[in-house]
Structure 1
Amino acid sequence: MSVNKWIVSIACGIVFFSCASSKDIVYLQDVKENGRLESEFEYKTVIHIDDLLSIVVSCDDPEAALPFNTPMIGLGREVASTGQQSPPGYLVDKEGYIDFPVLGKLRVDGISRVELSEMLKEKLAVYLKNPIVTIQFQNFKVTVLGEVRNPGSYKVTSERVSIFDALGMAGDLQINAKRRNVLVMRENGKEKTFARLDLTSGNLVYSPFFYLQQNDVVYVEPSRGRIVGGNVGTFLPYVLSSVSTFVAVLALILR
């Protein structure tokens, strides 16, 4: 085989393997255009120990609601870097309770925000006319680690965040990240649950881990090439440039 043909063969091989590697990069590869996937899993964010809840009570008579809106845990604490007060809230204790004005200790661990709102309205109906209860999570965050552009913990303003939302907040995956084996760790009291997600598969939406819960941790592994090569990616352009120069000179010599 001539040197020219040899060079062409190498170039074709590089192109082939580059195209093949795209199968490990593209998300949701088997989803059809205009196709629809309906998950059987019902998404519901439940309250956990150490959650910080904002609970505001109102009714037809604002004066009557005042005893149920006393200053909550966190009021008055200063944030050194900004000088602003941290948001007030009811902290769920280690036993899963909050201490609510007038009503006393209430078990809230394991129920949803909507369920807690309904429970409070039922109990407050004894004291108030047409009570309205507004509840929000104050410390809903997810943590994304590993092969992403900006690893860290991210506060979530809504209580519905998917695995793709979290990765988007972290700047998306690095090119050398494993997309078929993303680990999600979920903690519920003393129990920890782990799941592996394949971001390239449309079946991902059927997983109960597709939507994240507060304090979930997402870890993205590096590819084997990244582990073996270390920082070789930094020098790869220079290596390829030197190799191409060498091949060009060799072709001239052997012509």
Structure 2
Amino acid sequence: MTANCTNSMSKKSITSKMKKSMLDMRKSIGFNFSIALILAFMLSSCYTSKGVDYLQSNQQTIILPLNKGEQYKIQPSDVLSIKVQSRDPEQTAFFNLTSIENRNFQANPASLFLSGYTVDPEGAINLAIVGELKVGGLNVDEIRDLVQVEIDKYLVNAAVTVQLTSFKVSVLGDVKNPGTNYIYNNQATIFEGLAAAGDLNLSAKRKKVKVIRQIGNESVVVNLDLTKPSIIKSPYYFLHPNDVIYVETSKPNIKQSNLGVLTLILSAITTTVLVLNFTTK
């Protein structure tokens, strides 16, 4: 009888020790996974300002010369907004396409594009009253001067304004809203083009942003470093119509994004271990 009791107590003791050992092991596993989870989270959310800030410099004030390069030359299919103004609106109305078509016309960038003068395949436009004008190969300022000379033949003290309304830029790659955007500013910079696309993502490679530009019959690809103030001196700092901006994703940040998946996996495992610990108590 005594021997049986001793054996029974011994078995219970062994069983109790095994359960305690298993609980300790599970707790240890849960603790280790929790630590790994915290570390993974810290790594996946680690972005330094050095990698994402634009125009980085230790100087408070930087003065750099702008390099606007050669002004854009008008090409076939471009759309121009031409407006003639003078003291007598009734006289200028005949030269303004929108005034003839709609007296209640409300000028805005989109409507100017839709109601502008489209350059034909021969590089010409047909201006009201004046007739055909060759504008292909000229920049906006040269076209304004050309139209001004023609308008002066009909009106006294009239002012002519010309704007390119078919200014579109495509932004692709690691940005918030990739796509094609129309920009109604003839002096738009690469930062304005990126802003129209919602700015770069944190994972974007800021030191090597590609700009693809059509020059004559050739396509030119250049790399720009947005973290350096010297970008302002680049002839590609100011955008041209039909430019394409491509933003790559940096390799380290690709790895960091993968850590996000690892974090979810570790979180699931840790939760499972904690549930097992709770159910076996």
Contact 1:47 1:110 in 2 (8 A): yes
State the alpha-carbon separation in 2 of the partners of residues 52 and 241 from structure 1. 56
> Which of 155, 172, 176 in structure 1 is aligned with 2:182?
155
Contact 2:84 2:159 in 1 (8 A): yes
Matched, 1:206 2:218: no
1:134-149 correspondence to structure 2 within 5 Å: 134-149=161-176
Contact 2:113 2:166 in 1 (8 A): no
> Which of 200, 204, 223 in structure 2 is aligned with 1:173?
200
Partner of 2:210: 183
Aligned length: 229
Matched, 1:55 2:77: no
Greater percentage in helix = 2
Counterpart of 1:27 in 2: which secondary structure? coil
Shift of 1:19: 7.5
State the alpha-carbon separation in 2 of the partners of residues 21 and 243 from structure 1. 30
Matched, 1:127 2:170: no
Shift of 1:88: 0.5
Percent identity, please. Answer: 36
Which has more radius of gyration?
2
TM-score when normalising by structure 1: 0.71
Tell which deviates more after alignment, 213-222 or 51-60: 51-60
Residue deviations 1:154-195 (CA, integer Å, cap 9, x gap):
222322222122222222212221111111112245332221
State the alpha-carbon separation in 2 of the partners of residues 17 and 149 from structure 1. 19
Query: What residue ranges of structure 2 are gaps of 5+ in the alignment?
Result: 1-34, 103-110, 272-281
> Which of 238, 261, 264 in structure 2 is aligned with 1:235?
261
Distance of aligned partners of 1:110 and 1:32 in 2 relative to their CA distance in 1, 3 Å threshold = farther
1:71-82 correspondence to structure 2 within 5 Å: none
Partner of 1:112: 139
Contact 1:98 1:108 in 2 (8 A): yes
Distance of aligned partners of 1:237 and 1:16 in 2 relative to their CA distance in 1, 3 Å threshold = closer
Residue deviations 1:200-250 (CA, integer Å, cap 9, x gap):
112111111112122211110122346678x625414325658999xxxxx
